[in-house]
Structure 1
Amino acid sequence: MRKFRIAIAASILLLAGMVGWLATEINRSQRNLSDQPFGVAFALTGQDEQPITEQALRGRPALIFFGFTHCPEICPTTLYEMDGWLKEADPAGDKVRAFFVTVDPERDTPEVLAEYVPAMSDRVFGITGEPAEIERVLKGYRVYARRVPTEDGEYTMDHTAAVYLLDGQGRFRGTISYGEEAESAISKIRDLIGKG
């Protein structure tokens, strides 16, 4: 019986040690992930027809929303709401940047974005690019996007509807969910600005 108790105690100590090691490793890997810029390097095109890279997401905090111009509700609503959040959290417009990256580059040319995005907000900048490069960026930023055929022979896009929050070093700092209360969204943006 004594040997059995010793074996149980040793097993518990071993298990506790393994759990402690695993917790340490998880914390270390999360810390390392949060210390690195989020996403991937990219070479895309802005709504002004000029090249744009991931460096646009450095220096100041950034909001990124992935959507498309033919979107019936989620995208225009989110862009309109982003405009209000940004004007409340950063009235001068010099502390945070905001980007709308298309998930539908075949239809969303720079010219289309230059007309669509400013109609929703003068605080958000549209980005497009070659379909293969957009696909690579979507994967790198862990964005879900899928073309869905419609009955009229056209298509729509299913896609992630959250706004990504990145700090001034391009590190992931959270999201704003579609339909989130304005007060919560503004608070998150202010907090992001505070962290730089």
Structure 2
Amino acid sequence: MLMVILAGFLIGALGGAAALVLSEGTPGKTVTTTGKALVGGPFTLIGEGGRTVTDGDFRGRHMLVFFGFTHCPDICPAELQVMAASLGELGDKAKDVVPIFITLDPERDTPEVVANYVKNFGPEFVGLTGSPEAIAEAAKAYRVAYSKFTPEGAGKTSNYSIDHTALVYLMGPDGEFITHIPYGTQAAKMADTLRRYL
């Protein structure tokens, strides 16, 4: 939950800074900015059946990417349900979007575990895992912060949890970042966002 709050503050701060920059200058003049968001990038991970999956496998379709872990008690399943519902609202256009879940817990989330987990949200979902190094690299590319901790009274060290950024990333058919969708966004609003870019 802490990561969700921190992500909200970060997004707000970036938006405020952008607004400040755009509001300065000559009154009555329109300011145009250009640039590329440094979010997303190449990844090489492991999918169902142990096959290697790269970001390039999804070229030509939009990617809807969420990072989490299968032992997550609330945020992850709730967000994946919203993703599934938003795709359901798109009708035929949903075929142009591939929903991708990338685990932040490769220690417990094997390819089989992740594949079985994402099937709960729909057959179109792709679940990915990999080595800790590959997961860390993908998370860094998407600016996802995460940390492992053991709750008080959890007992065994295998009962750990993971704090993580809870954003959904919409990537274009070329693999480039389009926008992010904050945690807590309703399915109808997420579907509206997707329609805008499809």
Q: 5+ residue gaps in structure 1?
A: 1-18
SS at match of 1:157: strand
Q: What is the aligned residue count?
A: 168
- Measured in 2, the distance between the counterparts of 1:115 and 1:179 equals 24
Q: CA deviation at 1:50?
A: 1.1
- Amino acid of the residue matched to residue 161 of structure 1? A
| More displaced stretch, 106-115 vs 145-154 | 145-154
Q: 5+ residue gaps in structure 2?
A: 1-24
SS at match of 1:186: helix
Indicate the RMSD between aligned Cα atoms, in angstroms.
2.2
Q: Deviations over 1:21-74 (max 9, x none)?
A: xx98x924x2xx15x8x4232221012321101103421111000010000001
Listed as ranges, the matches of 1:38-77 within 5 Å are: 38-77=39-78
- Measured in 1, the distance between the counterparts of 2:57 and 2:88 equals 20
- Measured in 2, the distance between the counterparts of 1:181 and 1:93 equals 17
Q: What residue in structure 1 maps to residue 142 of structure 2?
A: 141
- Measured in 2, the distance between the counterparts of 1:67 and 1:47 equals 17
Q: What residue in structure 2 maps to residue 27 of structure 1?
A: 33
- 2:152 counterpart of 1:122: no
- Measured in 2, the distance between the counterparts of 1:164 and 1:40 equals 12
- 2:179 counterpart of 1:174: yes
- Amino acid of the residue matched to residue 119 of structure 1? N
Q: What residue in structure 2 maps to residue 104 of structure 1?
A: 105
Q: What residue in structure 2 maps to residue 4 of structure 1?
A: none
Q: Deviations over 1:106-162 (max 9, x none)?
A: 111001012111012222110000111111111111011110112323210011111
C-alpha contact (below 8 Å) 1:117/1:126 kept by paired residues: yes
Determine which structure has more spread, i.e. the larger CA radius of gyration. 1
| More displaced stretch, 149-158 vs 71-80 | 149-158
- Measured in 1, the distance between the counterparts of 2:93 and 2:170 equals 19
- Measured in 2, the distance between the counterparts of 1:78 and 1:95 equals 20
C-alpha contact (below 8 Å) 2:41/2:141 kept by paired residues: yes
- Measured in 1, the distance between the counterparts of 2:55 and 2:65 equals 12
